[in-house]
């Protein structure tokens, strides 16, 4: 294993552990970075437990540093570090520390943008330029968001802890949202290449960690299942020419069977709990799509009805309309979309265009494709919509 992949895998865990020792995120980050610099100089081959090596080195570095500094805070932190006699010398990263840090990064008192940036930085080990590229914002903006968020955590006293059971219904959703957003931005990037594998992989890694840490929370399992089942279809999403391929036209033999099996297994575990939530239902929909040779649309529609009742958002209404079209035809789907309002989102006119085209209303379909093309920000998606529009030209109908 090379140092870069060790860094990616261990950075978040090590920072989380050091943050508990030190009670300070900045200090924790500096200590871990110092330790990785030392590793770069010292390691011929990585030690058997690189995470533990980094934590021990970082902790020693932090103690040295605090000894040199003479503020009251530094002395206090040093005392804390030196008085943990019950800890063995070679300390590996503790999983609970990571969970604590996820909840700190996703605290509802932080701005949503800051939550994602901080999670990617502290737990995913992504660098500021990488986060900026993922979210199409200036590096300076991301850096500022992270600095502000860390300052607020310290100044406002946002605690490093996993919320108590009765607080979880309020505190878990922002954590799940961050991982979901991270994955989606990777799966359908706002601009640049359509898919950013690194973000998808990172979101799945963190979702796996969360599921391992909270195996009794069905929505956590639901989110992991949803991400795995979506990721499983990725290899079939683009044709050899780099063009987008719709679900119905995808070569199912390219789908990742291992991920599908794992996702299905998680969905079954969720079903047994019988505490459905939005992520579990979306995972169940993905499970239906990836089960057998073709999607069972009646079942998909029934699940969307359930999802719409639970989370009546315009996005859910839009996705449900696609299922309505398959079960009850394009006219019924158009009617279902009549009241849906999603300003600026290209998929609404794109879906309308498909339905109009199926009804033979080509002029209206062309106009809807034009709207969708104007709104789409990703080049691959725009090219796809233009191709669909071009296929209409030459046919008649109004």
Partner 1 sequence: MKQYLLSVHFVEGAPAPSDEEMQTMFRETDRINDELQAAGAWVFAGGLTAPDSATVVRIENGTTTLSDGPFAETKEHIAGFWVIKCADLDQALAWAEKCAAACGPVEVRPFDELSQA
Q: Which residues bind partner 1 (CB under 8 A)?
A: 107, 109, 155-159, 163, 167
CB closer to partner 1, 109 vs 271: 109
CB closer to partner 1, 97 vs 354: 97
CB 52 within 8 A of CB 92: yes
Whole-angstrom Cα distance, residue 340 to residue 342?
A: 7
CB closer to partner 1, 153 vs 225: 153
Q: How far is the CB of 25 from partner 1 (least distance, A)?
A: 15
Q: How far is the CB of 73 from partner 1 (least distance, A)?
A: 9
CB closer to partner 1, 155 vs 216: 155
Q: What are phi and psi of 238, to 5 degrees?
A: -125, 140
Q: How far is the CB of 108 from partner 1 (least distance, A)?
A: 9
Q: How far is the CB of 72 from partner 1 (least distance, A)?
A: 9
CB closer to partner 1, 159 vs 397: 159
Say if residue 215 is exposed, middle or buried (CB neighbours under 10 Å; 0-12, 13-18, 19+).
exposed
Tokens of 366: 């062309």
**3-class DSSP assignment, residue 259:** helix
Task: Compute how many other C-beta atoms are within 10 angstroms of the C-beta atom of residue 276.
Answer: 18
CB closer to partner 1, 21 vs 187: 21
Whole-angstrom Cα distance, residue 95 to residue 212?
A: 9
Q: How far is the CB of 161 from partner 1 (least distance, A)?
A: 8
Written in H, E and C, the secondary structure of 164-193 is: CHHHHHHHHHHHHHHHHHHHHHHHCCCCCC
Task: Report the b/e string of 357-368 with b at 16+ CB within 10 A.
Answer: bebebbebbbbb
């Amino acid at each position: 294993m090379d140092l870069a992949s060790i860094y990616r895998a261990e950075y978040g865990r090590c920072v989380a552990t050091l943050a508990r020792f030190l009670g300070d995120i900045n200090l924790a980050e500096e200590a871990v970075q110092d330790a990785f610099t030392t590793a770069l100089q010292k390691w011929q081959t990585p030690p058997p437990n690189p995470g533990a090596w980094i934590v021990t080195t970082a902790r020693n570095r932090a103690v040295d540093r605090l000894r040199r500094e003479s503020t009251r805070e530094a002395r206090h932190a040093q005392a804390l570090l030196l008085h943990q006699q019950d800890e063995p010398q070679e300390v590996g990263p503790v999983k609970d520390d990571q969970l604590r840090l996820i909840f700190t990064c996703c605290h509802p008192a932080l701005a949503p943008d800051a939550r994602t940036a901080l999670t990617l930085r502290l737990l995913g080990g992504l660098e500021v330029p990488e986060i900026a590229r993922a979210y199409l914002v200036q590096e300076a903006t991301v850096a500022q968001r992270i600095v502000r968020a860390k300052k607020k955590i310290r100044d406002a006293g946002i605690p490093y802890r996993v919320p108590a059971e009765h607080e979880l219904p309020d505190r878990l959703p922002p954590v799940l949202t961050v991982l979901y957003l991270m994955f989606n931005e990777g799966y359908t990037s706002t601009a640049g290449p359509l898919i950013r594998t690194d973000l998808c992989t990172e979101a799945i890694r963190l979702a796996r960690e969360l599921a391992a840490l909270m195996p009794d929370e069905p929505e956590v399992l639901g989110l992991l299942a949803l991400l795995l089942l979506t990721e499983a279809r990725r290899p079939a999403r683009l044709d050899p020419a780099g063009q987008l391929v719709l679900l119905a036209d995808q070569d199912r033999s390219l789908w990742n069977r291992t991920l599908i099996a794992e996702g299905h297994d998680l969905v079954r575990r969720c079903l047994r709990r019988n505490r459905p939530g939005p992520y579990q239902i979306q995972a169940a929909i993905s499970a239906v799509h990836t089960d057998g040779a073709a999607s069972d649309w009646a079942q998909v529609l029934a699940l969307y009805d359930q999802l719409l009742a639970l989370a009546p958002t315009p996005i859910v209404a839009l996705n449900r309309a696609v299922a309505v079209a398959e079960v009850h035809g394009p006219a019924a789907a158009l009617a279902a979309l009549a009241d849906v309002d999603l300003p600026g989102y290209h998929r609404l006119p794109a879906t309308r265009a498909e339905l109009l085209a199926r009804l033979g209303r080509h002029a209206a379909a062309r106009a809807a494709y034009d709207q969708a093309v104007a709104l789409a920000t990703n080049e691959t998606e725009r090219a796809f919509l233009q191709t669909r529009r071009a296929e209409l030209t030459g046919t008649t109908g109004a």
